[in-house]
Structure 1
Amino acid sequence: MSGSRTDLLAWVNDLLQINYTKIEQCGSGGAYCQILDSIYGDVPMSRVKMAAKHEYEYLANYKIMQNVFKAKKIDKPIQVDKLSKCKMQDNLEFLQWMKKFWDANYGGQGYDAVGRRKGAPMEPPATVAPVASGARSATGLSAGSARTGGRTPVGGFRSGSAQPNEAVQQLQAQVRELSSHLEGLEKERDFYFEKLRNIEILAQTQLEVLEAEHKDDVTLREIQKILYSTEDGFEVPETAPVDEEETF
């Protein structure tokens, strides 16, 4: 399958009325979802995060894509783990396939991309930078600074150094990057915790209904067992002493 990066970007930007500057930005999944919507017109675009910035938003977009592929019986594996890392080659190859699929299935009808997004702001998604690379860079920088010899005075950098300001800026940028990534991980954690909590409530409610009818459900019991299981070393004590006098 052919298609240069320049040609594919021009096609995506024109079709979706967006302003992507590099193929890697397609890794957020939003553009792929809307390309499918331009063909079928029934993708739930209200749930698609076109300006996704966090990994959990990327994964939510790919889940929508997978549902569309399943519903339309599209026999094409979606390598989410590779695409969501926003690597150029993986997304270039997938976008080439998407263009070929679009050419074969688009009916020529007009498509109001902005209208389908309901005018949602279309800031291009940021490509994800692996945290490990930033951590290694920070470590390397610190080690390099240590090897240059001597201690930095408390009041500032050693005189004669030509790199202090640049080094500080690099570290500050890494801190901002890590803080942003941490925020995304916390949101992703809360997102999946809420799902598990809803499953727990649903299972418990249904079991209470069955118990009132003197019935039971083995599957629900197994679900509860999984939800309440713990790792070795983190078991909750069967009996814990309670100090009734203790107040908080």
Structure 2
Amino acid sequence: MCFLYIGAFVRHQIDRPVPVQSLIKCRMQDNLEFLQWIKRHWDQYYPGGEYDAVARRKGSGAPPPAAGGARSGTSSATGTRRGTTPTSAAGRARVGGANNLALTQELNAQKEAIAGLEKERDFYFAKLRDIELLLQQAVETDPELEKGDDSLVKHIQAILYSTEEGFEIPDGEVGGEELETF
């Protein structure tokens, strides 16, 4: 395997020697150091863009597979799959980029709408809480306000504490005593 690297380095006129003895020892630090150097070299010299294998071969197509029993059927199928995966992934990335941009914009618009609705909800909740506190203070100062069945205080409290059909109070809250902070 190291000789493949050496051959590729010679073909592309890369002057760095391949540390064959270090790589053969399979020490993680040596292998990692070599791979980091390869990555840095790739980042420095790769022009970017898509890789067009047919154009690189000047339209000649892939060379025919070598005849012989050296390879099993599973390894050739794996090799074929590896060759097609990057092309389809590049196509998906290109299409996904436009979709991602549109979805990101839609997500940001939805987040803004949610923030506006939460602000409005908190505003009206604070108003209702103020009304509730005023009623409680009024009842504390004059308990007679709450005695009659037809009293205004009773009707307002009934409206404040009523729930709609199908509404369930969350487990963590009791009445209106706990205020949420956002």
TM-score (norm 2): 0.38
Larger RCO (alpha carbons 8 Å, 6+ apart): 1
Radius of gyration: which is bigger?
Answer: 2
Q: Name the structure with the higher helix share.
A: 2
